């Protein structure tokens, strides 16, 4: 079986591939080696894959989708939920990186949650579950 053939994969187009990879690695994603396709970066979080690709450097399968992706802001309407053991450390990372916060840490009953935007406008909800 091909590596990763049975895992959920989420692909995101990004403007600065190196910056996005660095941020996602800081929040706990692991990067998989991929020397054959430098315009793609494969990261994992548990069994879920995150595939980051350059907005302009990686090909599109449909001309209409390419035009839309290049004309409109990235990230609108997308939310990734990421479990964390230290919500305060994630909030501090967002502050250090000068990234937008859409919801300060708050207790949602099941967990303390925090929402912030990555450099391309994708929203991440971090969850620190109660013990």
Domains of the chain: 9-129 (3.10.180.10)
| DSSP type of residue 85 | S
Closest CA to 27 of 84, 102, 98: 84
Sheet holding 111-117, edge to edge: 79-83, 123-129, 111-117, 101-107
pLDDT band at 5 (very low <50, low <70, confident <90, very high): low
Q: Which residues lie below 8 Å from residue 130, measured CB to CB, with a gap of 6+?
A: 110, 111, 112
pLDDT digits (tens, 9 = 90+) for 11-61: 999 999 999 999 999 999 999 998 888 889 999 999 999 999 988 877 778
pLDDT band at 113 (very low <50, low <70, confident <90, very high): very high
Q: Decide if pLDDT at 76 tops 90.
A: no
Closest CA to 90 of 73, 77, 103, 74: 103
């Amino acid at each position: 079986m091909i590596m990763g053939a049975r895992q959920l994969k989420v692909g995101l187009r990004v403007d600065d591939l190196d910056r996005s990879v660095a941020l996602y690695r800081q929040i706990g994603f692991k990067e998989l080696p991929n020397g054959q396709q430098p315009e793609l970066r494969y990261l994992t979080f548990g069994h879920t894959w995150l595939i980051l690709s350059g907005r302009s450097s990686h090909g599109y399968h449909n001309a209409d989708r390419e035009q839309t992706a290049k004309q409109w802001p990235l990230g609108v309407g997308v939310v990734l939920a990421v479990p964390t053991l230290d919500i305060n450390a994630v909030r501090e990372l967002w502050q250090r990186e000068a990234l937008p916060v859409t919801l300060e840490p708050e207790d949602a009953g099941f967990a303390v949650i925090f929402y912030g935007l990555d450099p391309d406008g994708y929203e991440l909800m971090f969850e620190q579950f109660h013990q």
